[in-house]
Amino acid sequence: MTLTIVSLLPSLQNTNGDAENAAVLAARARWAGLDAAVVPVERRSDLPARVDAIVLGSGDDSSLDAARAALMEFHDDLRTWGTDGVPILAVGTGWELLSWGVERRGGPVVEGLGILPGRAVPRASRMTGDLVVATARFGTLVGFENHARDYVGAEGSPLGRVRAGSGNGRDSGQEGVVMGSVMGTHLHGPVLAKNPAFADALLGIAADRAGLAYQPGERAAVVDGYADAAREAQLAAARVAASAAEPIG
Amino acid sequence: MRYAPAILVGRFVRFAARLRKPGGGSAIPGLIVNRIAPGYLKRTLSGFPQGLVVVSGSSGKSTTTKMLVAVLRAHGIDVFTNPSTANISQGLTSALLERADWQGRVPGDVAVLEMDEGHGALVMQGVDARVVALTNVMVDQIDRFHDSDMVAGMLARIAVQAHEAVVVNADDANLERLAAQLRSDVAVHRFGVSQAVLDASPRGLGYTETSPERLADGTGVRVTTVDGAEAVLDDGGTSVSIGLPARGTHYALDAAAAYSTARAVLGQRFSPTAAARALSEIPAVFGRGERVAVRGHDVEFVLVQNPASYQLNVDSIAPGTEQILFAIGADVRDPSYFWPTDASTLGRVSIVSGSKAAEAALMLAYDGVEIDRVEPDLGRALDDFLAAPAPVSGVKTIVFSADSMRRTRAHLGLTGAE
Ligand SMILES: [Zn+2]
């Protein structure tokens, strides 16, 4: 049996390389001795018979409407996956489109798919830089953020607390939103590679649902050494001491 | 006479700057002249008898500019051009001052300027250009440009300053859209690749959006064949064979851009033969295909500046190259946007180095590349890499970002190359 990771709309939603998280999940599954495949899905007819995890990356603002239209085809599927507990990682505008809506400065609101609570609202200027988040489930998450909007209404179930950077903004001190196994985050790019605990948690859920056991492989230990070094460097750049960044509670 | 006092001050500052840092050209004189004579840059740029030609775009503008200058000079034109490091306002003014007489006049029939896509729109405000050539829209340097729309918008602001012609890459959908918005009295000239050349690049050419159709026969300058460092251009039915400074389709495209821009500038005076000869004589450049003898080894240096050039250059490294040093420096603030690239053909890398060594190693590892050693200290990495015996297959190859290239040159004392 093959673990099937869906990369949703990779042609539109891969601005910062976030769609590559699908390949990260597949690589880690293979290193663990499991069969895994990434299936790029641009339209509903591309959907494989089995879906074990989904990655939806971030796109350009100019393609928000196009991406929404493309996602609408999957509205029912996303609801079903969400209720069934299929892990879904949504990044940047991909996450925003799964929310209640995206408010644009001087433009009409883009109606969201309503899979995740909250909405994206314009911020004074674009936020780019290091983002460090303390989470109870995945430890300290480290990465980059690059977004033109804040996110409100995630207070009930954020991904974690911001240690450096902006995250959801509006003085919430929080980052991301979680609803069951559906997760939205501003952490773009290879967030799952740089935060192996996050990747392994998602893989654990996927494997569990498929009746498989997931235990990180030997190769993962080597590669996670590079991730550790990259995390240390970024924590230092963000002036967050590794110890101070450990989650509290 | 109008600018004489400002020019004198600028010259004095340049002189003073040289005393402090011998041999160093500096942007400071430009900064000061811009401050005390804000009209100088605009007026001088607009004052060349045969006009101003501007080259911009995400990638390939340095090579295209260099090639265009060579082609124009081969036609007997006296060209003023800026060094590629001086492509923002202060640097540009400093470059003009280098050549200016005491009244601020710069000799030359025509000015050919490489323009930074970010600063170009600002520098070009109120400047009258004859021809603007645009290479492509790629998302590079994500810290500066958040998405491709922003880059396309900035290039559009440069393009509207052209009163005679705009030269665009027809395979770049963003540039085709930009060309469709131009005033109807501005001519649009196109260059691009044939379907066969595109098909030979399985990963595409790196544009944010590739046009659905290729240039039709006789509608522009087309790259019809690329074979290593040789290429054939089709110019309205005439085949023009050229040599490239190094292997790679992107160099053939730069040559097509330069060729079609020179044609737009020269009109009836343009000679395909003279253009082909000039293009074929462009030497290889350090970091872009040139091989250098270092500490008893032949070493090939490969510069990667954005995902597109990364992919093209990694693909052009001969399979089975046994010794590779891979260095990414502080100039790459957030390597995320490199992740969609695929370096699996490298197979094995001897040393990963640079201040972003860990990020680079992580990315390579997920591409399935074996890494022998991660050594963030670039000096030590270079010394050990070059001390190792010569490889059995391939030449020692160093892949680096711009910052690591600068440090590598300094460390190895390769100051002559530019
Ligand atoms: Zn990759």
**pLDDT tens per residue across span B208-246:** 889 999 999 889 999 999 987 899 999 998 999 999 988
Q: Which residues of B touch A232 (CB under 8 A)?
A: 358
pLDDT of res. B8:
59
Residue B144 pLDDT more than 60? no
The CB density around residue B19, as the number of other CB atoms within 10 Å, is 8
Co-location of B124 and B228 in the same domain: yes
Instruction: Give the burial class of A246: count Cβ atoms within 10 A of its Cβ; 0-12 exposed, 13-18 middle, 19 or more buried.
Output: exposed
Q: How far is B338 from chain A (nearest CA, A)?
A: 7
pLDDT for residue B286: 76
Residues of chain A in contact with residue B137, where contact means CB-CB under 8 angstroms, are none
Of all residues in chain A, the one with the smallest CA distance to B374 is: A226
DSSP B347: -
Q: Which residues span the domain enclosing B386?
A: 288-412
Q: Which of B228, B251, B281 represents a domain boundary (last residue)?
A: B281
Last residue of a domain, one of B281, B312, B330: B281
Nearest-angstrom CA–CA distance, A83 and A98: 14
CATH number at residue B185: 3.40.1190.10
CB pair distance less than 8 Å for A17 and B361 = no
User: How does residue B24 score in pLDDT terms, banded at 50, 70 and 90?
Assistant: very low
Active site residue A147: no
Per-residue model confidence as pLDDT tens digits over A170-220: 999 999 999 999 999 999 999 999 999 999 999 999 999 999 999 999 999
**pLDDT at A121 > cutoff 90:** yes
Give the domains, in start order, of chain A with CATH numbers: 2-245 (3.40.50.880)
Interface of B with A in 220-279 (CB under 8 A): none
Residue B31 and residue B62 in contact, taking contact as beta carbons nearer than 8 Å = no
Cα-to-centroid distance, A190 and ligand 1 (Å): 10
What are the tens digits of pLDDT across the range B249-301? 889 999 999 999 999 999 999 999 999 999 999 988 777 777 889 999 999 99
ipTM for the whole complex: 0.94
- Which of A176-180, B23-27, B60-64, B204-208 is predicted least confidently? B23-27
A224 to chain B: nearest residue by CA? B362
pLDDT tens-digit readout, A27-56: 999 999 999 999 999 999 999 999 999 999
Please answer yes or no on whether B366 and A27 come within 8 Å at the CB atom: yes
Count of structural domains within chain B: 2
Quote the CA–CA distance of B122 and B38 in Å, as a whole number.
13
Q: What's the A188 CA to ligand 1 centre distance in angstroms?
A: 15
Minimal C-alpha gap between B125 and chain A (Å): 24
Specify the DSSP element, H or E, that contains B174. helix B173-180
B60-69: average pLDDT = 94
Does B375 lie in the same domain as B268?
no
B250 and B397 housed in the same domain:
no
- Do B234 and B381 belong to one domain? no
> How does DSSP assign B72-128, residue by residue?
HHHTT--EEE--TT--SHHHHHHHHHHH--TTS----SEEEEE--HHHHHHHTTT--
Strands B396-400 and A119-135: unpaired
A126 marked ligand binding residue: yes
Closest CA to B59 of B304, B231, B232: B304
- Write the residue in B147, B334, B362 that is nearest to A60 by C-beta: B147
Report chain A's terminal Cα–Cα distance, integer Å. 37
Cross-chain residue pair B149–A60, CB shorter than 8 Å: yes
B109 touches chain A (CB under 8 A): no
Cβ neighbours of residue B144 under 8 Å, at least 6 residues apart? B118
Whether residues B231 and B379 share a domain: the answer is no
Residue found by looking up tokens 């089975």 in the block = B320
